[in-house]
Structure formats: C-alpha cells, structure tokens
Amino acid sequence: MKRSRRVKILATLGPASSSEEMIAQLHDAGADLFRINMSHASQDLMRELVSRVRAVEKRAGHPIGLLADLQGPKLRVGKFADGKVSLEIGQTFTLDDDDTPGDETRVHLPHPEILEAVQPGHRLLIDDGRLQLAATASDGRSITCKVVSGTVISDRKGVSLPDTTLGVGALTDKDRSDLDAVLKEDIDWVALSFIQRPEDLAEVRKIARGRVALLSKVEKPQAVERIDEIIELSDAVMVARGDLGVEMPLESVPGIQKQITRKARRAGKPVVVATQMLESMIAAPVPTRAEVSDVATAVFEGADAIMLSAESAAGDYPVEAVKTMSQIASRVERDPTYPGIINAQRAEPQATGADAISAAARQIAETLELSAVVCYTASGTTGLRASRERPSVPIIALSPVVATARRLSLAWGLHCVVTDSEPSDLDDMVDRACRIAFAEKFAKPGDRIIITAGVPLGTPGATNMLRIAYIGSDGLSGI
C-alpha cells in the first residue's frame, strides 16, 4: 500500500481495536505498524493479536510491523488501613519494609532495591508526581521523607525515582516470561521499559539472539544522561514523553525530544515519538489545536514514527485518530518549509561504503529528479542508511527476508516490498527494481530510478553499487 507520507504511524492495539476487522480499518486509515502493550495484554491475547495482524497483512499484500512492549518494573507503595490518607506539606512520612497497612505516618514499600538505593536528598514522586517526597534519611530498611507537595496518598500508587539509579535490571520475571512467548511469534520489535543504562540491554540481547529488533524507551533521566550509549546499543529508540514528564521538569521534555530525535538520526537508528499525541481523541472525534501542533512538530523534526496509545487502544474514535494523524503528517510533509528543516538536520555520512553510496544515491536522485531510490537490503542496513539521508524522492526497500521488510516498516520513508528471492544477476536485479517501482505506482514508463545494492548479490552490509535505470513501456528496464 503506497502511502502519501514518509513518517510512519505506530498504533497501539487494545479493547477498542482488537478485532481483525478493526485492525484492517486502522491499517487502511494509515497505521503502518501495531503495538501490543504487554502491561495490559495476556500472552494468549498477544498470540491472538499477532494472528489477526498477520491475516490483515496477508490480505493487504504488504509487510506490517509488530511491536511487543514489555511492561518493565512497576514500582508501587503498599496499602493503607483506610485505603488512603491525607498528609500535610512539611510533615515527615516514612516508606519501609513493614508489610502492615499504612497510616498518616508510614506505608509499606515492597521494593528492597529502592530502600537500599535512595539517599538523603533524592526525590520520590508518587502517583505520577501528584505527591512529592524528599528523602531526609535512609538506612536500607526505611526511607524517612519530608512531604514537599501534594496531600493525598492511596493504595498501590506508583513510585518514580528521578534522582536514583536502581541496581536491578530492566527485566522482571513477568517480562522474561512474556519475552519467551513473544520470541515464538511473528513479532518484529520488542520495546524495553525502564532503561537506565546501556547494560540494561545486555540480558535481552542474550535472550533474543537477533530474533527481534530492540527498541529502548527513553523515559528516565538516567537514560537521557547516557543516551548516546543507549542509542548505539539499540536498534531503535522511543521518546516516552509521558514518563519523562513525570521524572523531569515538563519544560525540559520538548528539548530532550529534539535532542534524541537528532542523535538517533545521526546514528541511523529509527526514533519514535510517543505519548499523548492526540490524547483528547480518546473521547472526541477531533483533536485540539495544540495536539495538531505537537504531532506536526515531531514530523518537522524528522521522527521516523509517531505513536498512538490509548487513542487507538481504548478510545471511542480509533480510526479517526489514525486518519487525523496521517492527515497532519501528510500536510506537514507538503509544507514548503519542510524540506529545508529536514535538510538542515542532515548528518555527514560516516566513512563506510553504505553511507557513501546512500548519500550519493540521494544527491543523484534529487539532482536528476528521479522517481525513486530502490535499495536491495537483506539485513536491513542498506535500507536504514537510505532512510537516514531523508531524500526528497520515495525509497523502495526490496528484501527477500520477510522479517527484514517488517522491521524496516518503522523507518522513515521506506516503502517495503518482499521479493521472492535474491536476484540471479545484475540484469535481473535492475529488471526487478523497475518492475516493482512500476507496479507499486512510484514510476511510470519513461521515468528513471536509481538502484543501490551490494555486489556480490546477497552479501549483507556490502552496499557498493549504484545504477540508474529507465522504466520501459512494459515496466521493465529500458535502454
């Protein structure tokens, strides 16, 4: 399915969008990939959703990416004798390892890793920051705090720790079980929550062994501080603005979004901007003007993908939300200021054959006003480097590997096509490229395309060839 935009749309599946019919409607409306949130989906439901998405993919005849988002650690306080208590600003309140119900002076914190890690001066944000505590003393079994803001705390509210690096990894026992289940299905990406440091990716890499690509969700200050290392070890990153806005000053989040987006593009790694993009469309058929501007900003910034969460998962208008996001993105990409902004952010190519070829292909395609850049990519590397260049002409990524084509559906500007097999020789490669560019309506007879590939054919990561070809009257290469 040919899209009229380059940025991709990642839609979350949920109660409002779990049927095969609704998934098909979301795809037709503009969703390029789907997210399964393992915080809410059981493993059985996950398997059913995978089956439904793959059925839609088969009917569409176009690769559709699937992302499983692992829950990660859920840090919560215990329960209170009366369900909730009222506090006063300035009073002392304690979190400890005593599992008896809490009162106005204390509550159980069933996380020894927090009790051991928090130091005096560290902040503890309860219930998405509605209650802020400042630690004044800690002995490994209890944390004595002063109430800084907020006056109510109730059962099982979440705890955020913007100043504390915990010694635990990003995977819980539930995550390990979910990951084992995910790896048995046709899922292309796994999103990791609670990333604090690059080492948090190591365990997942070891378990996955390349069977899925890894997306790191940047939602903690500790991850922002080490973002360059995290990007290097990830296959993609997500700017999870909701959690970032809890643990960091709200006014800092837009700047962080821009920094991460640009760093990821320089590294050639897809970047997703997520959370509350069209939040009002959970209950309304149209967004606010501020939400339209927010989506547009992410597109102007060159994000690879923009994500819908509750809007498509549990909202009253999931199809309308996808259509609206697609319309905003398409309009932004037609704006006369868009090419200048995108080009201004272009990074210099790295000293590799793939980057040199990709940069040359973009420049030639734009100078000669070619119809498309066609890249053969088995591993996905060539496609990602072509996407990094953000050319003004369409990019068609041809791959004989279904998993590669699905993963690349997250990357900016890539129209992914699964080929039957590797080309037998260079002439076959050129004919296939011309035929597919014609069939997918990116070129017509008399147009020219530019083709990138690696010779010998089928050698991963060996992009070293450029070829300009004419589209003949029969859709094959002309003279």
Q: What angle do CA 449, 389, 295 make, to 5 degrees?
A: 110
Q: What is the pLDDT of residues 200-211, one digit of tens each?
A: 999 999 999 999
DSSP state of 79: -
The values of phi and psi at residue 444, to 5°, are -125, 165
Cα–Cα distance measured from residue 272 to residue 204, given in angstroms and rounded to the nearest whole number? 20
The catalytically annotated residue of 47, 76, 176, 331 is 76
Q: What is the pLDDT of residues 178-222, one digit of tens each?
A: 999 999 999 999 999 999 999 999 999 999 999 999 999 999 999
Q: How many CB atoms lie within 10 A of CB 187?
A: 24
Q: Is 323 a catalytic residue?
A: no
Beta strands at 236-240 and 271-274: parallel, antiparallel or unpaired: parallel
Per the listing, tokens 């002439």 go with 427
Cα–Cα distance measured from residue 232 to residue 364, given in angstroms and rounded to the nearest whole number? 29
Identity of the residue numbered 404 = T
| Intrachain domains 8-72+170-332 and 353-470 with the same fold | no
Q: Which CATH superfamily is domain 8-72+170-332 in?
A: Phosphoenolpyruvate-binding domains (3.20.20.60)
pLDDT band at residue 273 using 50, 70 and 90 as cut-offs: very high
As a whole number, mean pLDDT of residues 97-112 equals 96
Q: What is the pLDDT of residues 21-62, one digit of tens each?
A: 999 999 999 999 999 999 999 999 999 999 999 999 999 999
pLDDT band at residue 226 using 50, 70 and 90 as cut-offs: very high
Structure-derived torsion over alpha carbons of residues 360, 365, 371, 376, reported in degrees to the nearest 10 = 0
Identity of the residue numbered 403 = A
pLDDT of 460 above 80: no
The catalytically annotated residue of 261, 275, 377, 463 is 275
Q: Where are the domains of the chain?
A: 8-72+170-332, 84-160, 353-470
- Name 198's Cβ contacts closer than 8 Å, sequence gap at least 6: 226, 229, 230, 232, 233
Q: What is the pLDDT of residues 2-26, one digit of tens each?
A: 898 999 999 999 999 999 999 999 9
The pLDDT assigned to 17 comes to 98
Q: Is 35 a catalytic residue?
A: yes
Q: Is 346 a catalytic residue?
A: no
Contact 192, 176 (CB under 8 A): no
Does domain 84-160 sit in CATH 1.10.3720.10?
A: no
Sign of dihedral through CA atoms 462, 468, 471, 472? negative
The values of phi and psi at residue 178, to 5°, are -65, -40
Q: What is the pLDDT of residues 117-173, one digit of tens each?
A: 999 999 999 999 999 999 999 999 999 999 999 999 999 999 999 999 998 888 999
Tell which wins on pLDDT, 459 or 435: 435
The catalytically annotated residue of 217, 323, 407, 448 is 217
Fold annotation for 353-470: Pyruvate Kinase; Chain: A, domain 1 (3.40.1380)
The pLDDT assigned to 266 comes to 95
Identity of the residue numbered 379 = S
Contact 106, 98 (CB under 8 A): yes
The pair of three-digit structure tokens given for residue 27, joined into one six-digit string: 């795809």
What integer best gives the mean pLDDT of the chain? Answer: 94
> Could you tell me which residues are beta bridge partners of residue 192?
216
- Choose among 141, 148, 99: nearest CA to 122: 148
Q: What is the pLDDT of residues 417-449, one digit of tens each?
A: 999 888 888 888 999 999 999 999 999 999 999
Q: Is 217 a catalytic residue?
A: yes
